[in-house]
Structure 1
Amino acid sequence: TPVWMAERLRRGGIRPVSLLVDVTQYVMLELGQPMHAFDRDLLTGPVGVRRARAGEALTLLDGREVALDPEFLLIADADRPVALAGVMGGFDTRVTDTTRDVFLEAAHFAPPAIIGRGRRLGLYTDAGHRFERGVDPELPRQAIEYATRLILDLAGGAPGPVVEAVLPEHLPQPQPIRLRRGRLARVLGLAIADVEVERILRALGLAVEPIESGWQVTPPARRFDLALEEDLVEEIARIHGYDAIPATLPGGATVLHAPSETRVDEADVRRQLAARDLLEAVNYAFVDAALLAQWQADGGAVPLANPLSAELAVMRTRLLPGLVAALGRNVARQQARVRLFEVGNVFARPADAGDAPVETLRVAAVACGAASPEQWGEPARPVGFHDLKGDLESLAALSGARLEFRRSQAPWGHPGRSADVYRDDMHLGWIGQLHPRLQQALGLDLDVVGFELDLEPLLVRPVPKAQPLSRYPSVRRDLAFVVAEDVPWAALRASVQAVAGAYLRDLVLFDRYVGKGVETGCKSLAMGLILQDETRTLTDRDVDAVVAEVLAALQREHAAVIRG
């Protein structure tokens, strides 16, 4: 290979190999037409193009043997395949330094016949890249003649006949494009004279026919990039000069929308969680199917038809797996305290929804490490269930929602430190600590707490109603009692609210004790009842009656025992 050709190939990003190979590569760089050189002495009979047969194999130029199927297009001689059409040549018929007779092949392959074939085999070649995007169908003969001339000039020899097979009805035919005069002026922001438009288009080798509304433009076969009216507008702007187009700032009226009284804005949700010392994360909606299986959350998962990779093969059914994975990456990079949240959609195919996936807007948060940043005024403690519960309740306060927490059976949750979340008996999601086995499987050494809920029900709020403050004083009574360890506070609170009626303004749990003086398997709770009437001052008799009803309900429904 002469120095000038080798240097041009290197500058084009191609490594010189040998004269015959370099000539075909050089022609491809100059004309844009991929081609291949075979050793004619190694070919048997006529050479043609056909589909691969099931079970057929081919050894490629890189030495790899690949299994083929009828989806692949082949260059074949009378006995065997000799090249993978539009992608790579075969090893057995390659040209070498001892080659005396050369067989040159150049063809036009339609993009649908080549797209994805190389990717299936892990092959990425210049030829495949060009054919997938389209090559001028008029180039093959020109490329053959140019390559022949270069070989004769550089290596000598005698040319053989050029055999050409053309089926014009199967070649891509340029489609005319209508360019409207008004559309051109509207997109560019200026009017260009008809004479100038026609001059530019004809100078680019386009056939131009004036019509009433503008022009009918037919691009040459080599201009695959010209398919739309906007493509022609871009060409005219490029040749006319971008500097000749006036810089006009866009204008328009700004419409202000009044905030809704009955709906919380998603931006408020993000601001609230950020104010609670959480950082927003934005994860892919695609996840690894194996990750969902670890969480036992792969039911109804929607697989992707053409995933970017095996690790992004299905749509996420929950936010927590991806969010915990992001937390783990931060912990692995020496971030001991991590607090993240995400607002996004999840996708699942319920059993009763046929083939249609259902998209649901959710909010999730995770945390690990210290409950608060390190500082001298407060002793350090690990973040726990109630820290995230406080974050969640602050979020619910935006819509005035009262949440109820019930014991959860979620497989990814810690058996004694997780709960299902409800609003008005509607199940919203889950909150708690991850199961130790799941944390171990995910490689997490720190305890991780989090929550995930459907967001839409939390965005709905009643219209606020102003109420005057009561003119009458409130009364507080504190009660301490012992109940079984497995009785949840939510059940006790519901019993108190049911019997206290309209007098109850607030109910506060201010103490929990387990230890000396309390029977094993039980716990001592202390709560404060704040009572008030809107129309009069409550008497001791009124308050005593309410307290007596509360105690009776707790004893009757939960076997509570009043502490002396």
Structure 2
Amino acid sequence: MKFSENWLRSHVPTDASRDELAATLTAIGLEVEEVIPLGESLAGVIVARIVECAKHPEADRLQVCKVDAGQGELLQIVCGAPNARPGLVAPLATVGTVVGEITIKAAKLRGVDSNGMLCSAKELGIDADASGLLELPSDAPVGAPIAEYLSLPDASIEIKLTPNRADCFSVRGIAFDVAAACGSEVVAFDATPMPALNDSALAVELDAGAKVPRFVGRVIEGVNAAVATPVWMAERLRRSGVRPISLLVDVTQYVMLELGQPMHAFDRDLLVGPIVVRHAREGEGRSGEELKLLDGRTVSLNEDFLVVSDSSHGGTGGRAVALGGIMGGYDTRVTEATRNVFLEAAHWIPSAIIGRGRKLGLHTDAGHRFERGVDPELPRQAIEVATRLLVELAGGSPGPVVEAVLPEHLPKPASIALRRARIGRVLGIEIADADVERILHALGMQLEADDAGWKVVSPSRRFDIAIEEDLIEELARIHGYDRIPTTLPGGATRIAAPTETQLEASSVRRHLAARDYLETVNYAFVDAGLLEQWSATERAVPLANPLSAELGVMRTRLLPGLVSALQRNVARQAGRVRLFELGNVFAANTSVEGSDAAPTETQRIAAALHGNAGPEHWSEKARKADFHDLKGDLDSLAAASGAVLEYRPSQNPYGHPGRSADVFRDGHCIGWIGELHPRLQRTLDLDGEVIGFELDLAPLTLRALPKAAELSRFPSVRRDLAFVVADEVPWQAISATVRTAVGPLLRDLLLFDRYVGAGVESGQKSLAMGLILQDNSRTLTDRDVEEVVAGVVAAIGRDHGGRIRD
């Protein structure tokens, strides 16, 4: 929010200097980002009129001007400005005046006397425009000090507002905070209703329910739209970062900056009543039903948008003439030819406007304010103020104010109990009752004292005041954070002991880092198109107000973002990339009825690798990483918690068939591992194979409570067996069969050879395994071992059709 210092002081008189004012604003939470002084030293600069212009005899780009400075005699000034011309009124720095670092002296320029300098806005320090002389209105009083005429010196102050302080998107809203902090009072504001002088009116209908509970309009006939915007208004707008356009537009901008209520002016003669506020129709704005906005672009809408429509094109609400709460329409705009104006001011609730402008690539002052909340009581006041300004400056005859309102959808003022004891409890200090009442009164709040404290009703502009702590925050903010002593908290601190049944996330990070992976942190918001490429849009949660179109959906998987990070590294010539991420994924909560149900969050761990299995080294030949490299890393991570993972063929759409698997623990699927599908790799423009895994973190890191056990004092026995089984039988299934058949005597099971070729039939494979057997109570005999071996052979033959290899 940018505003003029003088404009603010006209609403709240204070003796604070400019530096003190800026420091006060920052101290109360309205952070001052920039203060630009304007017109600091203009003594000796006056208003002057050029009477004659002649070409300089010795310079093509210079003119010799005769200037009326209100001193009786014309002054001769040599000027090089391209816009210097007879009749132009401009600032004149007289001889002896200091402009910037230059002292103006009588001089000869190329042999011609010059007695002063006609000035640009930049030379006066009031604007950055140095393209020509500052052009003043033709009725500016010649000879008057320019500082007096332009209300200088002044300063353009820009503050950074937090989203909850929408009330400070106006000069008057800021004035209340300044009054409270500086111990002054806000000047009473004149919003006396203007009487109707004719019966001209447009009926208004509200068809958007609670989204637009109030709409106020007024017709003003016979205005002179060609009248120039007065200097005092134009300068206030310019110093607030708004470029003056025309009187009709400037008045609506001025009221918005002063009160905080966005407005719009329509050409009444281009409207057909009644006016209807409604939802846009699907496809409205496309060819044949175009909505052309003030900036010249046409937009395509859907039912998520709101529009202001008139009743042309054959029926009530037939044609959209403005995009509700964001921007007016081009076809019904006001111009210098406008004679009859329809002013509107409405209350659009934030949820009806949030994100709509961003979807269309629009950012407007009106939309910015409505997204954060505008006082629902302001529209009528804004209409009256704008009417008074227009009638005074452009003439005209106002009609009656037409107000359509749905009172059941307007916020009702609520009384909040503020307890004296609670203030001390929260802030740790006592604030005198007189100070509490002064601060809250200055902020525009209504108070009623009781035994415990006060009953407080906040003004309708303060959307952020809802509970007692909000009021206490206001007291702390205005009383001064620097006046609240710093004290250490008392009492004992409860130390939570980590559980032994869950491997800590920090241990997971250290484990993967030790295996040469780098951790990444990606946005939890992703592009919906990216999830579609991964076939991962099921139960995706869209954001109501995304930062950008590329960050419009909460992620349902970690791998899309992780692989995108890997892709960026590969594109920058990183030949070997190994990344992991630990974070939350989100899914729409289908177990709770209603769209307001919070999404479910699941913490997951994911990793992805590309390139060689190991770093380049002279002692080893380079080898591309494959599925088993990543599986080894995952098994190593699982071993840290004692988890035994099972891998089953996966049908995941983004996985390579035959090179990807679903990961199970204790019979429950906890994730996926594998190589990305070649089609997905082409879509993502990935050169070379990418292998990754993604698992739920909680079941992976769950571990049994450690228990001490005596080591066996008896020797172990190893028996090696080789079986011939069908090629499609996985080792995982054989391992499960062996472990079941052997039981508690099995200490370890090793697969040390896989063979296909001569001596093994086609479609068969030979798997050689080692059984490590041991008992805690005795030494195993040959008979014990033979019984175990016989049981294993029988079990593999029965379950998998396997036989001992000859």
Q: TM-score range by the shorter chain?
A: 0.7 to 0.9
Distance verdict in 2 for CA 1:251–1:540, change over 3 Å: same
Q: Distance in 1 between matches of 2:579 and 2:709?
A: 37
Displacement of 1:383 in angstroms is 1.8
Q: Is 1:24 equivalent to 2:24 in the alignment?
A: no
- Residue in structure 2 matching 1:60, options 293, 312, 333: 293
TM superposition shift of 1:62: 2.5
Task: Work out whether 1:91 is the aligned partner of 2:330.
Answer: yes
- Contact 1:49/1:73, CA 8 A, preserved across alignment: no
Cα offset, 1:180, TM superposition: 1.6
Partner of 2:343: 105
Identify which range, 206-215 or 281-290, moves more after superposition. 281-290
Q: After TM superposition, give the deviation of residue 114 of structure 1 in Å.
A: 6.0
In the alignment, is the contact (CA less than 8 A) between 1:286 and 1:312 conserved in 2? Answer: yes
Report the counterpart of residue 401 of structure 2 in structure 1: 164
Q: Which whole-Å CA distance do the structure 2 matches of 1:354 and 1:223 have between them?
A: 32
Give the superposition deviation at 1:552. 5.6
In 1, the alpha carbon distance for the partners of 2:607 and 2:419 equals: 53
CA distance in 1, matches of 2:797, 2:614: 39
User: What 5-or-longer segments of structure 1 have no aligned partner?
Assistant: 153-157
Are 2:262 and 1:34 equivalent residues in the alignment? yes
Alignment of 1:129-168 (within 5 A): 129-132=368-371, 133-135=373-375, 137=378, 138-149=381-392, 151=393, 158-161=395-398, 163-165=400-402
Give the whole-Å Cα distance in 1 for the aligned partners of 2:324 and 2:592: 44
Q: 1:242 aligns with which of 474, 481, 491?
A: 481
In the TM superposition, what is the alpha-carbon distance from 1:416 to its structure 2 partner?
Answer: 3.1
| 1:214 shift after superposition | 0.8
Return the alpha-carbon distance in structure 2 between the equivalents of residues 439 and 81 of structure 1.
Answer: 46
Deviation (angstroms), 1:247? 1.5
2:240 — aligned with what? 12
Cα 1:244–1:371 change in 2 (3 A) is same
Deviates more, 1:86-95 or 1:162-171: 162-171
Distance, in Å, in 1 between the alignment partners of 2:662 and 2:321 is 64
Q: CA deviation at 1:208?
A: 2.6
Counterpart CA distance in 1 for 2:433 and 2:427 is 14
Q: Are the counterparts in 2 of residues 37 and 102 from structure 1 also a CA contact under 8 Å?
A: no
Show the counterpart of 2:749. Answer: 507
Q: Cα 1:217–1:326, aligned 2, differ >3 Å: closer, same or farther?
A: same
User: Is the CA contact 1:301–1:315 (under 8 Å) kept in the aligned structure 2?
Assistant: no
Matched, 1:419 2:661: yes
Q: How does 1:324-363 map to 2 (within 5 A)?
A: 324-346=563-585, 360-363=602-605
Tell me the amino acid that sits aligned with residue 398 of structure 1.
A
Contact kept in structure 1, 2:577 and 2:611, CA below 8 Å: yes
TM-score, length basis structure 1: 0.82
Matched, 1:465 2:703: no
CA deviation after TM superposition for structure 1 residue 6, in Å:
4.7
**What's the offset of the Cα at 1:310?**
6.1
Q: Which residue of 2 aligns with 1:268?
A: 507
TM-score w.r.t. the length of structure 2 is: 0.60
Instruction: Report the alpha carbon displacement of residue 121 of structure 1 after superposing the two structures with TM.
Output: 5.6
Instruction: Flag the 1:33–1:375 CA change in 2: closer, same or farther, 3 A.
Output: same
Q: Return the letter of the residue paired with 2:345.
A: A
* CA–CA separation in structure 1 for the residues paired with 2:351 and 2:783: 91
Equivalent position of 1:438 in the other structure: 680
Q: Is contact 2:663–2:669 with CA below 8 Å preserved after alignment?
A: yes
Contact in 1 for aligned 2:265/2:344 (Cα 8 Å) = no
Matched residue, 1:490: 732
Contact 2:656 2:676 (C-alpha < 8 Å) held by counterparts: yes
1:218-237 maps to which residues of 2 (within 5 A)? Answer: 218-237=457-476
Q: Deviations over 1:448-483 (max 9, x none)?
A: 222233443334333333222222222333344544
Deviation at 1:543, TM superposition (A): 4.1
| Aligned-partner Cα distance in 2 for 1:354–1:207 | 40
Deviations 1:350-400 (A, max 9, x none): 999999976654433222222233344443322222222222222222332
CA distance in 1, matches of 2:568, 2:480: 49
Identity of aligned residues (%): 60
Map Cα deviations across residues 67-102 of structure 1 (whole Å, 9 max, x no partner): 788974537589976555644333334333445x35
- Out of 554-563 and 352-361, give the one that drifted further: 352-361
For residue 374 of structure 2, what is the amino acid of its counterpart? G
SS of the aligned residue for 2:249 comes to helix
Code of the residue aligned with 2:343 in structure 1: it is E
87 and 163 in structure 1: CA distance in 2 versus 1, 3 angstrom threshold: farther
> Relative CO higher for 1 or 2, CA cutoff 8 Å, sep ≥ 6?
2
How many Å apart are 1:223 and its aligned residue? 4.4
Q: Give the Cα separation in 2 of the matches to 1:462 and 1:365.
A: 25
1:536 to 770, 775, 778: 778
Tell which deviates more after alignment, 384-393 or 164-173: 164-173
1:258 to 497, 501, 505: 497
Could you report, residue by residue, the CA deviation over 1:424-443 in whole angstroms, capped at 9, with x for unpaired residues? 33333332222333322332
Tell me which residue corresponds to 2:146: none
The one-letter code sitting in structure 2 at the alignment partner of 1:208 is L
In 2, the alpha carbon distance for the partners of 1:223 and 1:461 equals: 52
The within-5 A match list for 1:209-220 is: 209-220=448-459
Which deviates further from its counterpart, 410-419 or 548-557? 548-557
**2:609 paired residue number:** 367
In the alignment, which residue of structure 2 is the partner of 1:115? 353
Distance in 2 separating the partners of 1:425 and 1:464: 22
CA RMSD of aligned residues (A): 4.0
Number of paired residues?
A: 553
Aligned to 2:733, the other structure's residue is in SS state: helix
The Cα shift of 1:246 comes to 0.9
Residue 74 of structure 1 is matched in structure 2 by: 308
Cα distance in 2 between the residues matched to 1:194 and 1:353? 47
Q: Report the CA distance between 1:255 and its aligned residue.
A: 1.9
CA contact (8 A) 1:288 1:313 kept: yes
Counterparts of 1:539 and 1:81, CA distance in 2: 94
Evaluate the alpha carbon distance shift between residue 253 and residue 446 of structure 1 in structure 2; reply closer, same or farther with a 3 A threshold.
farther
Flag the 1:244–1:370 CA change in 2: closer, same or farther, 3 A. Answer: same
1:51–1:501 Cα change, 3 Å:
closer
> Aligned-pair distance for 1:163?
3.4
Change in Cα spacing, 1:119 to 1:381, as seen in structure 2 (3 Å) is closer
Does residue 50 of structure 1 match 2:276? yes
- The C-alpha deviation readout for 1:180-208, integer Å capped at 9, x for no partner, is 21222222220011122222223334333
Provide the rounded CA distance (Å) in 2 between the counterparts of 1:215 and 1:124.
Answer: 41
* 2:544 corresponding residue in structure 1: 306
Q: Contact 2:248/2:390 (CA < 8 Å) preserved in 1?
A: no
Task: Indicate the residue corresponding to 1:155 in structure 2.
Answer: none
Offset of 1:48 from its aligned partner? Answer: 6.4
